[in-house]
A and B are shown apart, each in its own frame.
Chain A
Amino acid sequence: MYRVLGAIAACLLAVSGLACASGSTATSPPAPSPGPEDPTVDQDRVRGEYIVKLAPGADPAAVSDVFGRFGVQRVQSLGGALYLVTLSGDPGPRALEEARQGDARIASVQPNYRYRGTGQ
């Protein structure tokens, strides 16, 4: 758990070579930013975002029912049976897949992968 520190700005010109800031204070506690379960794949997917495909006829409420324990912040329709789900945390693709397998209303769940332009 992050611990807020007192404002003890120490000027370290001699050590660092950087100019010294005056009146620098500690910030408020940082917003939660969960660590990736596998840093090597983090660049290839948007953390905390998953694409969910509902089974035919399934109610979109199934998304919150199945994945609600991961902190569903937003559910956006992508057209058809697809939804983009934004979670407050990121338990990782494996955890979501395990959750999906327990409920037939969810046909599939996958990371929201990143792509880049292929100019040099």
Chain B
Amino acid sequence: MTTRSVVLALALSLLVGGGARAASPRALSLAGARGLYVPDEILVQFREGVSSRARFAAVAARGHELAATLSWPSWARVKVQPGQSVEAAVGSYRGDPAVALAQPNFLYRATTVPDDPGYAQQWGLKNTGQTITADNTQPPGSALEYTTDNPGTPADDLNVEHAWDHITDCSATVVAVVDSGVNYGHQDLAANMWNGGASFPNHGYNYVDGNADPMDLNGHGTHVAGTIGAVGNNALGVVGVCWKAQIMAVRVLDATGVGSSAQILQGIDFAVQHGAKVINMSLGGNGAFDQAYSDAITAAQAADVLVVVAAGNDGVDNDSGTAPTYPCNFTQQNLLCVAALDQSYQLASFSNWGAISVDVGAPGTNVLSTWAGTSGQITDPLNTGWTGSTTTAGGWTYGTPGGTACLVDPSSYPDGQYAQNTDDRAYKVFDVSGASVVVAEIAFAVDVANGDYFRGACNGAGGDPFAAGTTLGAITNMATYPRLQTANIDVTSCASAAASFGFQLQSGASSARGVAVCGLTFKGLVTNATSYNTIAGTSMATPATAGVATLLRAYNPSYTYSDTVTAIMLAGRPVPALSGKTTTGNAVDAMLSLAYIHTPTGVTANVQ
């Protein structure tokens, strides 16, 4: 028995024997745990000071036979009565003052290891203390986002290899990725996509554009999908928690990674109506309580659908009362909210937490998974190459408020005021050709009076985009100064080798502090079937958990969402960093959850 196996065995003992969570052990069932343990044996741990005679008597009183004393003196291997179930045998020791713990004699096999070359970098599945490299980042060659605890601590992982000894095929359970879509043609996902038949030939639906093509134009959803179910043991790329899966792609986030209540609740309904039993939603918002969204999750609960969601990335307490994050802070019983752990099972610096709202933790830093394509970006220095015009005097200029290069209007920003009755423009030409999608990320501080406008515009043909082009957005009556706002805008319609992008400040008979544009980056994505990325977020911890949930429901077809939640929450691995910061203090543990023994609710189990 390996060190890990010992830990595993003891942990399981706590669950089914005399530990705190086993205060009321239920009747056990082999119906959903076939092959996990020796059918006619159990292990019993006697309390300190119990004599050999008393041990023998305790065993004999149940018609059992003391088969062997183990190398740990307090433990014994016990043969149960012929025909008696292991569940019944374990349960028969409950309340015996001589017995500390009783548990099945679990089976361990040669560990199942996939041949996917990226597996060695997937510390969340198997943490060997490996250093996660930047070899698979987007844009290619960029640095890892998260540098703390890299390398981390061996065995701080999902403990999924032992679970793979029992199941790798999750295709009995449909799992929906309600996200930015999925690159369903990816080499590591195509074989594991949900079969939507003739109605949904692209494996899901797109509620952003209102069609049946949920292609991912962001990358986020494809990453999530790969963590759940990248094809395993195909000698390609990475492996998911599920080697085989049915991944339903439901696009509710646009190319900028943003979606709305209306899109999401329709996406949830689609997943529920088309048979998903696990929904992954790696998204969040900090608005007010969203009744329509909450109702959609309640409807999923009525359909026995488990919903796994992210805690959020603001590094705050979701339960503080000032920063609830939805959907994490919804209270339905079919909702599991997940925090992100780093490679040494410390709470990731960005991860939200909540002793009431957040349930478990899972690997969420430096997570390698599938990506929708090759990403690239152009960042403008904002100090050269811009063409300006004004109808009055002054207008846009280069400035350095706060020491940062910015386009500012007026030149005295932030100490002066912009001109009245002016039309100030600035634009520049960029080569943003060749991408499937281009998103402009703009950081700005604004103070414009009511009726005055700060606008963005673009034109694929170049030239002044306000003379002929597409308006990207307009802001009036807003003051964010000195706080920088970030806007992500899909500018794909303007993409060309000589596309102009510009800003305008247009005023009437009023004035205010003005505008500073201090960041402008164009992010492009060229979709392909072969890309991968290493990123961090509670978004990445969520599908690790959803993958385990899918594994459990595939292994135990009679499991309800409630059974699955119970197995994940109670049969997790205690992690000090999560104590007091989650409802359980546990990290998700695939093998412990798989081996968690309890009677599925709402069914009559066939006990052997």
Contact = CB atoms under 8 A, between A and B. Distances in A.
Interface residues of B, number: 84
Interface string A1-33: 111011111111001111111001111001101
B67 interface: no
Interface in B293-352: 293, 310-313, 326, 350
B398 A17 contact: yes
A45 B262 CA distance: 11
Main secondary structure of the interface of A (DSSP, over half): mixed
A25 B467 contact: yes
Given A5-B391, A117-B282, A118-B313, A17 B453 contact: no
Contacts of B504: 27
Contacts of A111: 261, 287-288
A42 B273 CA distance: 32
Given A24-B464, A27-B466, A49 B421 contact: no
B290 interface: yes
Contacts of B283: 115-118
A19 B421 contact: no
Nearest to A3: B508
A119 B388 contact: no
B384 to A, nearest CB: 9
B535 A31 contact: no
Contact of B455 (A5, A17, A18, A30): A30
A79 interface: yes
Contact of A112 (B262, B466, B479): B262
Question: Which of A5, A8, A12, A36 has its CB near the most chain B CB atoms (within 10 A)?
Answer: A12
Contacts of A82: 265, 292
Contacts of A10: 389-393, 395
Given A30-B453, A110-B292, A24 B479 contact: no
B135 interface: no
A118 B398 CA distance: 34
A41 B287 contact: yes
Question: Which of B291, B310, B480 has its CB near the most chain A CB atoms (within 10 A)?
Answer: B291
A115 B467 contact: no
Given A10-B389, A15-B411, A108-B291, A116 B253 contact: yes
A19 B464 contact: no
Given A12-B394, A19-B386, A21-B425, A31 B284 contact: no
Contact of B282 (A39, A42, A46, A119): A119
A119 B393 contact: no
Contacts of B282: 117-119
A114 B476 contact: no
A53 interface: yes
B13 interface: no
Given A8-B391, A39-B478, A16 B398 contact: yes
Contact of B397 (A17, A84, A112): A17
A78 B539 contact: no
Nearest to A53: B292
Question: Which of A21, A51, A117 has its CB near the most chain B CB atoms (within 10 A)?
Answer: A117
Nearest to A115: B285
Contacts of B542: 118
B577 interface: no
Given A16-B396, A117-B282, 17 more contacts: A1-B508, A10-B395, A12-B397, A16-B397, A17-B397, A18-B388, A19-B385, A20-B387, A20-B388, A21-B425, A27-B506, A35-B477, A44-B288, A113-B261, A116-B283, A118-B282, A120-B146
The 10 closest A-B CB pairs, nearest first, are: A35-B477, A18-B388, A44-B287, A16-B397, A24-B389, A119-B537, A118-B310, A118-B539, A115-B285, A117-B257
Interface of A: 1-3, 5-12, 15-21, 24-27, 30-31, 33-36, 39, 41-46, 49, 51, 53, 76, 78-79, 82, 84, 108, 110-120
